[in-house]
Amino acid sequence: MRTNKSSSVDPPLPAIHNPRRNCMKTLGLVIAAAVAGKNSLPESLAQDSGSKAEAPKSVQLHIYIEVKPGKGPELEKLYHSAYVPAIRVQNGFLWSRLLRHYDSSNKYEIDISFSTEKQRATWAQSKEHQAAWPKIEEVSAKITWQGFDQLA
């Protein structure tokens, strides 16, 4: 009886160094640690580290805007060219962002944050706001808003 010593299975390939795969494996481990519990994460990555120090407080205004048909790109341009330069110079201003809904080309949200409500109200009465806001209103069909106190 004759036997064939060669195998029909190819020998295993040598391991190839793949930095992207290694990075993804590391990221997976970090995510798994986060899912397992916040105590698995370094304190600097945990959102609530259990520290007794008081979190910085601020106020936020979320402005919900439905733009007129076809005016979305114009709102986006106005946000960057008029609104942000006007709000950036205000006392107590912390940040602003422009969001667009996933399922709509005409639903937007502008979120702003100030250190105090008094500073936010001062912004609303400022000459910069009086110049920038009518431009936003002009492209909008409907505007609503909701205010928030940031607690943590």
pLDDT of 55 reads 56
* SS3 assignment, position 110: strand
DSSP character for 125? H
The amino acid sitting at 82 is A
Check: pTM over 0.85? Answer yes or no. Answer: no
Q: What is the pLDDT of residues 71-83, one digit of tens each?
A: 999 999 999 999 9
**Nearest by Cα to 96 from 112, 80, 117:** 112
Q: Above pLDDT 70, what percent of the chain?
A: 63
Q: What is the pLDDT of residues 15-43, one digit of tens each?
A: 444 454 444 454 454 444 444 444 443 44
What is the C-alpha separation between 136 and 148, in angstroms, rounded?
Answer: 22
Q: Is the pLDDT of residue 65 over 70?
A: yes
Q: Above pLDDT 90, what percent of the chain?
A: 61
Tell me what the pLDDT averaged over the chain comes to.
78
pLDDT of 101 reads 96
Does 32 map to a domain?
A: no
**Residue numbers of the domain that contains 96:** 58-150
CATH of the domain at 142: 3.30.70.100
Residues 6 or more apart whose CB falls under 8 angstroms from that of 9 comprise none
* Alpha helices (H) in 1-147, listed in sequence order: 19-36, 72-78, 84-88, 117-125, 127-138
| Domains held by the chain: number | 1
Does 124 map to a domain?
A: yes
Does 3 map to a domain?
A: no
What is the C-alpha separation between 24 and 45, in angstroms, rounded?
Answer: 18
Does 7 map to a domain?
A: no
